[in-house]
Structures are given as C-alpha cells and as structure tokens.
Amino acid sequence: MKIDWRGVIPAITTKFNEDYSIDHAFFAEHCRWLVDSGCVGLVPLGSLGEGATQSFEEKVALLETALGAVGDRVPVIPGIASLSTSEAVRLAQAAEAAGCSGLMVLPPYIYSTDWREMKAHVSTVINSTTLPVMLYNNPVAYKTDFLPEQIAELAQDHANFVAVKESSTDVRRVTALRALLQDRLELLVGVDDAIVEGIQVGAVGWIAGLVNAFPVESVALFRLARQVREGQGDRASLEALYNWFLPLLRMDTVPKFVQLIKLAQERVGMGSARVRPPRLELVGDELKQAQRTITNALEQRPAIVSALQEP
C-alpha cells in the first residue's frame, strides 16, 4: 500500500494485561479507533509502543494484529530497532513478509558511536527490504544524532529511503533538511509540542504521541496548522486549540512520556496506565501533577470539541 506521509500517524501504544502479556483485542480496537478518527497510518513497536520490552515473536504477533485490524485502510509502518544489526534486519524482513507497507528505522539501542558505524547499521537495514523507509532521528533518547548532511548522504545512497521522523526538538533541522534535499524526503515532526512550528517551516506529517488519547483533537490541530501555513486557515482557532493542547503535548517530550500518555489514555477510557518494567506507573507528586494536567484539559475539552464542530 502506498504511504501517505502527509497527515497524523500515531506512534501507537501497546496495552498490557495484568500479567504483562499483550492485550491484542484492545490493540486491534485502538488501531481502528485511531483510523476512524482520521489518522493516515500507524507506527507500532516504537519507543512509545514499548518495543524494547517485547520479544521478537511478540513484535511479529503485534504487527499481525495491527494488519488484521485495519486491513487496507491505512499503512502499518513498524519501528525497527534492536541491540544488534542482524536482529534489526530480521525484524525488517519479518515486517515486510507480514504485509507492512513501510518501516521506521532506528539507530541501535544502547550502542551509539560515530557516523561510520551508525551509517553502516541503518544502511544494512534499509538494504534488507524493498519497503519505503523512514529514518527516526531522536538524539535525545538514543544519543545518535543524524545530522542533515548525513541524512542527505543516506538519501543519495538509498532510493527506498523516503522520509525522516525528526525528533531532535529543533525545528531548524526541518529547515536545514529542506534546504539540502528540496523535496527528496518527506519530513515529519516527531515531538508533539513542536508540531505547529514544524509545519510552519515545511514539515508535512506528524508521528504523534498524545493522539493515542486525543485523536480527534490531534487531527484537527494538524489540519488547522496546514491550513494556516497555506494561508487559508483561521489562526485564532489554531492558537486556541494549540494553547489548550500544549500542556498535554509536553508530556511527549520527557523521560516518562510512555507512562504519561498511557495515563491520559486511561483517563479518557481508551487504554490502561500499565507499563512493562523496567518502567513503573507514576506515583506520588509525579502522578498528582500529571492528573492535574489531564483533569484541567478534560474540563476544558467540551468547549474545544464544540468549537471544532462549528462550521
């Protein structure tokens, strides 16, 4: 299936049962809910999906559930990450065999080093598949920073390298990549609280986190931001929605973003706060502050949703 990168693509969470096994029934429901709300693709097995805590067999089974849930409605683009290059290649090939439409390739977990080794890793994974590949650049989390010049080098070497999820938190990277590559790569924002700024400087898509709890609002925010960039939208409506959403979106950019986003899902009745160790659920002051932020947003939400529904 051809991938439309120009929209909201959730980095989908993974719900666990009480014994920490994967709740496949809910995962399928969650996939359908996000697509029904206007999302244009799904990215399972990413950082937010707790892919690092799942076995190879669990990952493949989760992809099969996602594919079965959405069929040919939207592409499934799993995160491909591992401690070793060989296992990343194995997962990439399993994803292609299962029927995924593309891949999101990460640098290796734990080991971060120089450009020569990081290029060799991602190039090996890209070469192992015929699927279109999106590079995930997140130096904050993975300590490997793919600089614009290096990304341009990868683009020159690999025809199936087609997109970048830019999560450096610096929107100037979008500007730099556009200057170097023109329209060679699709550029997507990977940090929630920079989405409006990223679109204004030329990003075309959003690999989103809080969308797992607030898909309607996320799709509306993306649409309004695109319209304003194109000179056709209502800036006041965009600012009102963004200002309401920002306290929630900032939950995506801190070390415990998985716990926070899953807590938000639980509060809206679409998921559970349960996470797999070594992560633990929030407690104490962290939990109280998160609950206050979510409660404040939910209290204002009816007015926000009503405004979105106005012609």
- The pLDDT tens digits of the residues spanning 214-230 come to 999 999 999 999 999 99
Given the structure tokens 């989908």, which residue do they identify? 12
pLDDT over threshold 90, residue 305: no
Confidence band, pLDDT 50/70/90 cuts, at residue 311: low
pLDDT over threshold 80, residue 310: no
| Structure-derived torsion over alpha carbons of residues 302, 205, 2, 156, reported in degrees to the nearest 10 | -170
284-294 average pLDDT score: 98
Please, what's the b/e burial string for 300-309 (b: 16 or more CB within 10 A of its CB; e: otherwise)?
eeeebeeebe
179-199 average pLDDT score: 96
Q: According to the annotation, is 207 in a ligand binding site?
A: yes
Within a 10 A sphere around the Cβ of 293, how many other Cβ atoms? 17
Fold of 8-234: TIM Barrel (3.20.20)
Please state, for a pLDDT cut of 90, what percent of the chain lies above it.
94
The overall longest dimension of the chain from CA atoms, in Å, is: 53
21-44 average pLDDT score: 98
pLDDT over threshold 90, residue 141: no
User: Minimal CA–CA distance to 110: which of 140, 81, 83?
Assistant: 83
Q: How far apart are CA 252 and CA 259, in angstroms?
A: 10
Please, what's the b/e burial string for 140-149 (b: 16 or more CB within 10 A of its CB; e: otherwise)?
eebebbbebe
Within a 10 A sphere around the Cβ of 110, how many other Cβ atoms? 10
pLDDT over threshold 90, residue 308: no
Average pLDDT, the chain: 96
Within a 10 A sphere around the Cβ of 1, how many other Cβ atoms? 14
246-259 average pLDDT score: 97
Asked if 146 and 114 count as a contact pair (C-beta separation under 8 A), the reply is: no
pLDDT over threshold 90, residue 233: no
pLDDT over threshold 80, residue 153: yes
Token code pair at residue 3:
């991938």
pTM: 0.96
Residue 63 pLDDT:
98
Residue 12 pLDDT:
98
Q: How far apart are CA 93 and CA 72, in angstroms?
A: 20
Token code pair at residue 55:
């076995």
Task: Give the residue numbers marked as catalytic.
Answer: 136, 165
**Residue 310 burial (CB < 10 Å; 0-12/13-18/19+)?**
exposed
Token code pair at residue 123:
């190039």
186-203 average pLDDT score: 97
The domains of the chain are located at: 8-234
Residue 46 pLDDT:
95
Please state, for a pLDDT cut of 70, what percent of the chain lies above it.
99
Token code pair at residue 287:
């939990």
Instruction: Please name the residue ranges forming H helices in the chain.
Output: 24-36, 56-70, 85-98, 115-127, 139-142, 148-157, 172-181, 195-200, 215-229, 235-249, 257-267, 284-309
pLDDT over threshold 80, residue 200: yes
Token code pair at residue 92:
């990439």
